[in-house]
Amino acid sequence: MKTLVLIFSAVISSTFLYAQNNQMKWNNEPKKWSGDEKKLTCTIEPNTDFWRVTHYGFIRDNGPFYYKEVTGNFEASVKISGHYKELFHQAGLMVRIDEKNWIKTGIEYVDGVQNVSAVVTREVSDWSVVPRHDSPASIWLKLLRKGDYVEIKYSFDGVKYDMLRLAYFPPNVKAGIGIVAAAPGKQSFDVTYENFEVKAVE
């Protein structure tokens, strides 16, 4: 029995690693970008966003999303440095099943202030923020998907992390995990992602 358990565990691990190591791909590929998972620089084009219904009454699903598909439990991490200029400029991580089930987190620029932000969407979107009035140059993010939840943590030095959000996320479903951004207004902005990584967790 112990041998069977070990074999089964190895198969599950191999399946996860196969999914994890799939080549990165784009939804809504931006016109200007360069690099890879270690360092990716993008110009985020105007009139792009992710949102569903709540408060604003519209649906937007056209922001750039650079991702890989993963099954099982995992933790994703990345460092982000953005040149935010206009209301709702945003950059971060997204985990996504489809257009009605996703979570995005990162920096969102509102009234000249960088906000650590999370939007959880299941049919309709909600939004929570932590304002940062010191305009940090970079943010480090960690997104843990485990069982039926996603836990989001953030840091401004890459060492000390604080929890932003714990949210339900449908379990046992393959999801895309990757880097995301949006510029809902009329201005573009530049953002750099560094050391994007996805690793399996028990």
Encode pLDDT of 40-78 as tens digits.
999 999 999 999 999 999 999 999 999 999 999 999 999
165 touches 183 (CB < 8 A) = no
Alpha-carbon separation of residue 193 from 50, 152, 171, 187, 196 (angstroms): 19, 17, 27, 20, 7
CATH code, domain with 144: 2.60.120.200
pLDDT, tens digit, 9 for 90 and up, residues 120-131: 999 999 999 999
List the end-to-end C-alpha distance of the chain, in Å, as a whole number.
20
pLDDT the model gives residue 22 = 72
Domain count of the fold of the chain: 1
- In terms of pTM, does the model score above 0.75? yes
Residue 20: which H helix or E strand, with range? helix 2-20
pLDDT at residue 13 is higher than 80: no
DSSP conformation class of 6: H
Residue 31 is part of which domain span?
A: 2-200
pLDDT at 5 over 90: no
